[in-house]
Structure 1
Amino acid sequence: MTSTDRPVIAAVDGSSHSDEALDWAAREAARRGLGLTVVHALTPDHPAERDARRREAEELLARSVRQVARIAPELSPSTLTPLDYPSAALSSLSHNASLIVVGSRGLGGFRSLLLGSNSLAAASMADCPVVVVHSARAEEETPVDEEAHRDIVAGVAADESSEAVLEFAFGTAASRPGARLRIVHGWTMFSSMVSGGPVFDRDAAADAAARTLAELTAGWREKYPQVETVREPVSGSASRTLVTASATAALTVIGRRRGGESLGLGLSPVAQTTLTHALGPVAVVPC
């Protein structure tokens, strides 16, 4: 199965968050020339209610197909109702998907939670990139001008995990005419020391970080010359920079793991913070 055979998976549960995620998934599938599969998982508990819940699922999926027709009429989405828990169903479907798109919270989420458990689990376990669509913008009174949010922001580390992040980020930017790719690399004096760079000279450490970022991106800029690229070595918190950038970005791209450190369900500290506090869509790339 080639990447063009693998659809975009949109998970829906009837919440406003999943409606927004479905809109995003439909636009992205159309933009990339991919198929779209709309999924609503039926949890295996409460078997006595299963028939009624299946009818509700069919109604939800039919409404979702009509919603896709309004957003991207060129698509002919398929639908699935796996009998499984949402996180397990999405993890299984990710083996043959190009992308999974979920809302930041579902019907069962508490408003006090910034990220729902199913969204966190999908981002932590899927075999393909997962986009979590945060709804902060949807709650604003004025509609979002998508043309004004043209930046793709990618957070990269100085290791092999950056390859997968850059591949996804450049491919995403290339599919959006006029998009600009901002590549953010956070560094500190401690990280400079650990990597064998300057320890006491901040200017020298900054120069070393800039060189590292240039080396990481050189081949990709040659492969995608049509993509306007900005390199941003940042002294201090990369996650703070990424969260701030996410407010005006079309998409913020981060890697799932880095350097063996993990929080939560296998997310690096930067990924955990960015995914939890972002103000726009975030793509988590397995690496």
Structure 2
Amino acid sequence: MTARDLPVIAGVDGSAHSWEALDWAVGEAVRRGLPLLVVHVRPQARRVEQEGVRSSEELLAQAVLRASRAAPGLPTSTLAPLDFPSAALTSLSRDASTVVVGSRGLGGFRSLMIGSNSLATASMARCPVVVVHTGRTDESEVERADAFPDVVVGVAADDSGGEVLDFAFEAAASRPGARLRFVHGWTMFSSMLSGGPVFDSGAAADAADRALAELTAGRCETYPGVEVVREPVRGSASRTLVTASATAALTVVGRRRGGESLGLGLSPVALTTVTHALGPVAVVPT
């Protein structure tokens, strides 16, 4: 199996958030021409409970029916491992193109913006993980309309993480009419740290824009059909990305490899974005 054949994995547990994740995963699989693997991780506490097995089978059957109604003909398979959810999804991510999870599951507190399993999976998976937020604070609210086709990617002006850029360009290319918005929050302090202007805010803004232009130049030639918009914004990087996520089909952030065994893969900016975003967020290992 080549990288182009690796499935899109959707983690489901029967919660409203996991059904939203499934719907998003179905759309992603169709856009990229990939198979779909629906995974329901059975809790270890149900090791000897036949009822738990039946419940899992019923849940997966419901998921397959939902996927087939949305995308008839989409190759779909299921899996029900017995494990901790984040551990199982992290293991399966070695042979996946993308793992898609809801922002919260059945076991989460309603006041939390993101569940521990979703956060752990995003921190440790070996492939990109999409955490699906709908921008809702309550399950009874109207679902966020998919009215924004653009893809937002957050990068540091001196970032060389090619995996993040590749994923973002491919995501934009797979969405007709989508622009790719490169959002970079800068401050005079970050300009100083990167060796740029320290006292001239206008010069610092120009330096940030030039750095973004250099960062995107090569891939603009590879993806000539993708319109690129550079948005250097003075202010907190995390706040800038969270704000931008409200008008994006997908927000993309990077995650440094290393520290995964301790769940420390997410930077403060990535963590804030994943936790508070108002739309789906893709976390890409670099």
Class of the TM-score when normalised by the shorter of the 2 chains:
over 0.9
Match of 1:7 in 2: 7
Aligned length: 283
Q: Check if 1:221 corresponds to 2:235.
A: no
Aligned positions of 1:73-84 closer than 5 A: 73-84=72-83
In structure 2, the partner of 1:125 is: 124
Listed as ranges, the gaps of 5+ residues in structure 2 are none
Match of residue 38 from structure 1: 38
Q: Quick one: distance in 2 between partners of 1:161 and 1:25?
A: 28
> Are 1:102 and 2:101 matched, yes or no?
yes
Give the AA of the match of 1:115: I
Aligned mates of 2:257, 2:203 — CA distance in 1: 24
Deviations 1:226-275 (A, max 9, x none): 01110011111121111111112100111123999xx9632111101111
How far off is 1:129 after superposition? 0.4
If the length of structure 1 is used for normalisation, what is the TM-score? 0.93
Report the counterpart of residue 60 of structure 1 in structure 2.
Answer: 59
Aligned to 2:162: 163
Are residues 166 and 80 of structure 1, via their aligned partners in 2, closer, same or farther at CA, if it must alter by over 3 Å?
A: same
Determine the C-alpha separation between the residues in 2 that align with 1:165 and 1:236: 22
> Which residues of 2 match residues 265-284 of structure 1 at below 5 A?
265-284=264-283
1:162 and 1:16 map into 2 onto residues whose CA distance is 34
- For residue 205 of structure 1, report the CA deviation from its aligned partner: 1.2
Distance change (3 Å), C-alpha of 1:276 and 1:169: same
Letter in 2 for 1:205: A
Q: Aligned partners of 2:10, 2:143: CA distance in 1, in Å?
A: 22
Aligned match of 1:70:
69
Residue-by-residue CA offset, 1:4-49 (whole Å, 9 max, x unaligned):
1100000000000000100000011011100000001112234332
> 1:2 Cα deviation (Å)?
1.8
Contact 2:134 2:144 in 1 (8 A): no
Where does residue 17 of structure 1 map in the other structure?
17
Aligned to 1:208: 207
Q: What is the CA distance between 1:142 and its match in structure 2?
A: 4.8
Structure 1 stretches of 4+ moved >6 Å:
none
Q: For residues 87-124 of structure 1, what are the alpha-carbon distances to aligned partners after superposition, in whole Å with 9 as ceiling and x for unaligned?
A: 01001110010000000000000001110000000100
2-structure distance, mates of 1:44, 1:156:
39
TM-score (norm 2): 0.94
- Report Cα offsets for 1:141-161 as digits up to 9, x if no partner: 555442x21110000113445
Q: For the residues of structure 2 that align with 1:218 and 1:28, how far apart are their CA atoms?
A: 26
CA contact (8 A) 1:186 1:235 kept: yes
Q: Please give the per-residue CA displacement for 1:57-114, whole angstroms capped at 9, x wherever unaligned.
A: 0000000000001111121210001111110100111001000000000000000111
Secondary structure of the structure 2 residue equivalent to 1:267: coil
Letter of the 2:6 counterpart: R
Partner of 2:150: 151
Q: 1:86 to 1:259 in 2, by over 3 A?
A: closer
In the alignment, structure 1 segments of 5+ residues that lack a partner are none
- Match of 1:114, SS? coil
Instruction: State the alpha-carbon separation in 1 of the partners of residues 145 and 114 from structure 2.
Output: 24
Change (3 A) 1:180 1:226: same
Whether the 8 Å CA contact 1:161–1:257 is kept in 2: the answer is: no
Q: Aligned residue for 1:238?
A: 237
Counterpart in the other structure of 1:176: 175
User: Residues of 1 paired with 2:139 and 2:182: CA distance?
Assistant: 28
* Counterpart in the other structure of 2:112: 113
Q: In the alignment, is the contact (CA less than 8 A) between 2:8 and 2:34 conserved in 1?
A: yes
